[in-house]
Structure 1
Amino acid sequence: MEIENKSEKPRKKTGRPLSFDREVALQRAMLVFWRYGYEAASLQELTSAMGITPPSLYAAFGDKEKLFLEAVERYSTENCDALLCLFNQAPRARDAIERLLQSAAVDFTCPSHPPGCLMNTAATNCSASAEHVQHAMIERRDHVENMIRTRVETGVNNGELPPDTDVSGLANFYWTVIQGMSTQARDHADRDKLLAIAAMAMRAWPAPK
């Protein structure tokens, strides 16, 4: 008689494999949030764009909030990586900021995605129930401003800027310009207008002493 080996652990049941490309679905969801914002993006609009059913969305991403945060994390990571690369390639702090503004003007008006910046538009006006989402977006925006501040500070340390430069104030100024450019793009400003704003903003760059 065969004796049952009770020491063997039961095998875990594996979930059903996804019947869709998760990365493609996430990219499409990101575009919906980008266009409509977190709260205005309906479940129907999301699932329709993603090409999946609501149960599939919940199974793959958890819920709408988790889907949004994952989409924002993807967007934020890609943009911060690109920003870091841009800063590393720029020979001077002034070049870095100027290229940042010019790059923003091009990206905010790119026809392949909604206008403006996802981090500046997707969760600016949310109800109290979405406070967690709003805080997450603020943290990501602060991270970008900190990257700008660090690059300006490097310029001061390298003697490219006066030693008494208000590093935080200068970083905040250029980050505010970028946020304004995003709003302008949402209001259908074209690339030339944004590039002109970028050029005007660079006139505020402190002259070396």
Structure 2
Amino acid sequence: MSTTLSHNPPADKGTHGPGRPRNFDEAAALEAAMNVFWQKGFEATSLDDLTKAMGLSRSSFYGAFGDKQSLFLRAVQHYSNNGIRTLRQVAQTAGGDAIGAMMEAISDPKGGTKGCLLVNCITELAPHDEKVAELGRRHLESIEEIFAKALNPENPEAVRDKARAYSSLAIGTLALRKAGIPADRIADTLKQARTVLST
């Protein structure tokens, strides 16, 4: 599942003294950083990449966000919050086929090869970064919970395994996207996955 990034952060006007408000849009700067990490990954992203995209001086960067690792965790959490909120909206407005709508939203067959920032992070960093691993687990568990509630609003825990299967299949198609598999083939894969799980 992807989020659309449309904000362009304003140029930083310099550092601020004690007690003075920051003179840049911190939320927009965070989204800009998120987009850089999403495009390049954590290791390949430099501080210069971040400050340029965010429109900040180094002093303002450190003052607002600390170091690269701290900013990265905030950016990934921001992405997760947006994604989970969007998925809940999809489930609530999908009508009679919430499962299909959510699988489509997560896989986003026409979304290009960037894939999902959370899945990218889990692949790149989770094996040796417990904070990223924990964030990834919470994100995946939240997705499972939304599927479970869509499958059985009265007793979601009774269908948790099936919910995990649906969400895992949808998330798995992100690897196909990153490999450049055509959108129509990914859509066909989703349909076949639902057929298998429905039998």
TM-score normalized by the length of structure 1: 0.74
For the 8 Å contact 2:148–2:160, the answer to whether it is kept is yes
Q: State the partner residue of 1:178.
A: 170
For the 8 Å contact 1:145–1:172, the answer to whether it is kept is yes
Change (3 A) 1:17 1:122: same
The answer on 1:110 being equivalent to 2:122 is no
Deviation at 1:156, TM superposition (A): 7.6
For the 8 Å contact 2:32–2:53, the answer to whether it is kept is yes
Residue 68 (structure 1) aligned to one of 58, 68, 72: 72
Deviation at 1:206, TM superposition (A): 2.6
Between the aligned partners of 1:136 and 1:127, the Cα distance in structure 2 is 9
The answer on 1:45 being equivalent to 2:37 is no
Deviation at 1:144, TM superposition (A): 1.2
Deviation at 1:99, TM superposition (A): 0.8
Amino acid at match of 2:121: A
Q: State the partner residue of 2:3.
A: none
Q: Residues 66-122 of structure 1, C-alpha deviation per residue, up to 9 Å, x if partnerless?
A: 212222222222222221122122344xx111111222343x5336xx621111112
For the 8 Å contact 1:109–1:116, the answer to whether it is kept is no
Between the aligned partners of 1:148 and 1:54, the Cα distance in structure 2 is 42
Residue 102 (structure 2) aligned to one of 100, 103, 112: 100
Matched residue SS, 1:179: helix
Query: How many residues end up aligned between the 2 structures?
Result: 183
The answer on 1:203 being equivalent to 2:199 is no
TM-score normalized by the length of structure 2: 0.77
Deviation at 1:188, TM superposition (A): 1.8
Q: State the partner residue of 1:152.
A: 151
Amino acid at match of 1:46: L
**Identity percentage over the alignment?**
30
Amino acid at match of 1:78: N
Between the aligned partners of 1:49 and 1:34, the Cα distance in structure 2 is 13
Amino acid at match of 2:132: V
For the 8 Å contact 1:39–1:126, the answer to whether it is kept is no
The answer on 1:190 being equivalent to 2:182 is yes
Q: State the partner residue of 2:14.
A: none
Matched residue SS, 1:124: helix
For the 8 Å contact 2:51–2:57, the answer to whether it is kept is yes
Once structures 1 and 2 are overlaid, which stretch shifts more, 13-22 or 55-64? 13-22
Between the aligned partners of 1:50 and 1:44, the Cα distance in structure 2 is 10
Between the aligned partners of 1:123 and 1:36, the Cα distance in structure 2 is 14
Gaps of 5+ in 1: 1-12, 158-165
Amino acid at match of 1:110: G
Q: State the partner residue of 1:160.
A: none
Alignment of structure 1 residues 114-133 onto 2, 5 Å: 115-126=114-125, 130-133=129-132
Change (3 A) 1:189 1:18: farther
Matched residue SS, 2:45: coil
